[in-house]
Amino acid sequence: MLVDRPGPGIVVLRIVGEVDAARVPELRRTVIALVPEPVPTLLCVDLTAVGYLDSHGLDLLVRTHRLARAHGIDMRVVVSGNRALERLVVVSGVERVLHLADDVTQAIAPDTEPAAHDRATTPTATWTAHDDERGEGP
């Protein structure tokens, strides 16, 4: 695991190897250690060098996102280039919670759009059981 600070208020956490139940406590301690003063404004979690990520790792990403938001930190996650990880994030639905970026450069760019769930939106329709029968549900 590598921690880099490429600019004021920016922290890049590059995780290498496996992220499973055995490793989550170590990663959690590292993330919590990044939050003290001065609080970063942007946390980029780079997962492109992760070979394996299980449900504990996905849970850690979601919890880290919540912790970051609670402290006013924008969190972005890089998984591009790691097809297995990209597929896992999409299939699990975690991509709807996390702000994904193609690479670290894009993730830390100041003009990057906020994640869709961070933007104020008004739902235009509600999913119903009838939609599910037609195959149009979530």
Residue 82: its pLDDT value, please? 83
Per-residue pLDDT band for 45 (boundaries 50, 70, 90) equals: very high
User: How far is 109 from 59, CA to CA, in rounded Å?
Assistant: 26
Domain 2-133 has CATH 3.30.750.24: yes
Q: Is the pLDDT of residue 76 over 90?
A: yes
Contact 110, 8 (CB under 8 A): no
pLDDT band at 80 (very low <50, low <70, confident <90, very high): confident
84 pLDDT tier (thresholds 50, 70, 90): confident
Q: How many CB atoms lie within 10 A of CB 114?
A: 10
Q: Considering only CA atoms, which of 53, 121, 63, 119 is closest in space to residue 91?
A: 53
Instruction: Give the span between the Cα atoms of 12 and 44, in whole angstroms.
Output: 5
pLDDT per residue as tens digits for the range 96-109: 999 999 899 999 99
C-alpha torsion angle, residues 58, 24, 54, 118 (rounded to 10): 10
111 confidence band (pLDDT: 50, 70, 90): low
Adjacent-strand bridge partners of 78: 46, 101
- pLDDT, tens digit, 9 for 90 and up, residues 61-72: 999 999 889 888
